[in-house]
């Protein structure tokens, strides 16, 4: 399917690995001109080079921390008038007892997961509205809708972001600016690989066994973790011309783990 976005310009924050990288790949396959940010320059440059070689797309890596004013300025200087904005970041650590989380944990996390995407939307959405076309997709977490103590640093800020994006989506949908959210559950990613590999080393098991233990404990009906690149495909669909009547939605992608009729 032709998504009708060839030649559009996109910023993808947190695009060097996982679902961010999957989004870069999916958009690159559609002929989008990409500006991709991440903090780790080596992995970022490598990911952009690999995707550019595979797809032939124009991809500019921007080594920057999008949670800081300096980082945002650097990214927006490279692409001041994007047609598409996709935002994600490395997820906060899994948490145990909620009482062990201190104020510094909250402050540091809020800068990345809530305040940064809000600032980016504030910077680019008005221009999209003036030009009569725009797409914004924030990649959050299923914990924004279905709270769990292990994701308490991730869920509440993303729930606030969902609230904000839906409110803004209603304002600009009439200017053909469609703002939506993707809320994934457990997927194979760099962060997942690091966490579950560490658990495997500690427990004398394997990555695959630890993943299956989680699947069994949390009763994921699909019986597996998702593929981060597949999340990217959904992101690209939300960025498409075909999404011109989809505004303020939050799509759960979690293998059926959470229970809701709507």
Confidence of residue 108 (pLDDT cuts 50, 70, 90): confident
* Residue 44 backbone dihedrals phi, psi, to 5 degrees: -65, -50
Confidence of residue 3 (pLDDT cuts 50, 70, 90): very high
Query: Average pLDDT, whole number, for the chain?
Result: 93
3-state helix, strand, coil in the chain (%, to 5): 50, 15, 30
Write down all domains in the chain, each with its CATH number in brackets. Answer: 9-186+229-253 (3.40.50.720)
The answer to whether the CB of 59 falls within 8 A of the CB of 24 is yes
Q: Is 54 helix (H, G, I), strand (E, B) or coil?
A: helix
Query: E-assigned strands of the chain?
Result: 9-13, 33-38, 59-63, 84-87, 134-139, 177-184, 187-188, 226-227, 250-253
pLDDT in tens, 133-180: 999 999 998 888 888 887 888 888 899 999 999 999 999 999 999 999
**Mean per-residue pLDDT, 112-125:** 95
Q: What's the CA angle centered on 137, arms 136 and 142, to 5 degrees? A: 150
**Mean per-residue pLDDT, 180-186:** 95
* Res 130 pLDDT > 90: yes
* Res 90 pLDDT > 70: no
The answer to whether the CB of 168 falls within 8 A of the CB of 126 is no
């Amino acid at each position: 399917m032709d998504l009708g976005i060839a030649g559009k310009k996109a910023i993808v924050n947190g695009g060097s690995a996982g679902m961010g990288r999957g989004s870069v790949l999916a958009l690159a396959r559609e002929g989008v001109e990409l500006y991709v940010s991440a903090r780790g320059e080596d992995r970022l440059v490598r990911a952009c080079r690999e995707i550019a070689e595979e797809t032939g797309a124009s991809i500019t890596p921007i080594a920057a921390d999008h949670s800081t004013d300096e980082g945002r300025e650097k990214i927006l200087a490279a692409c001041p008038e994007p047609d598409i904005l996709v935002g994600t970041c490395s997820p906060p650590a899994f948490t145990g007892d909620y009482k062990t989380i201190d104020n510094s944990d909250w402050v540091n996390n809020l800068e990345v997961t809530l305040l940064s995407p809000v600032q980016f939307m504030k910077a680019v959405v008005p221009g999209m509205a003036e030009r009569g076309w725009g797409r914004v997709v924030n990649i959050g977490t299923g914990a924004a809708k279905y709270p769990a103590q292990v994701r308490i640093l991730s869920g509440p800020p993303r729930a606030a972001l969902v609230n904000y994006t839906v409110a803004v989506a209603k304002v600009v949908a009439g200017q053909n600016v469609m703002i939506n959210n993707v809320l994934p559950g457990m997927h194979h990613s760099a962060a997942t690989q690091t966490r579950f590999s560490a658990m495997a080393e500690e427990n004398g098991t394997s990555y695959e066994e630890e993943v299956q233990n989680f699947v069994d404990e949390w009763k994921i009906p699909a019986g597996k973790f998702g593929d981060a690149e597949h999340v990217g495909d959904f992101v690209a669909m939300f960025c498409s011309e075909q999404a011109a009547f989809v505004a303020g939605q939050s799509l759960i992608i979690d293998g059926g783990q959470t229970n809701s009729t709507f």
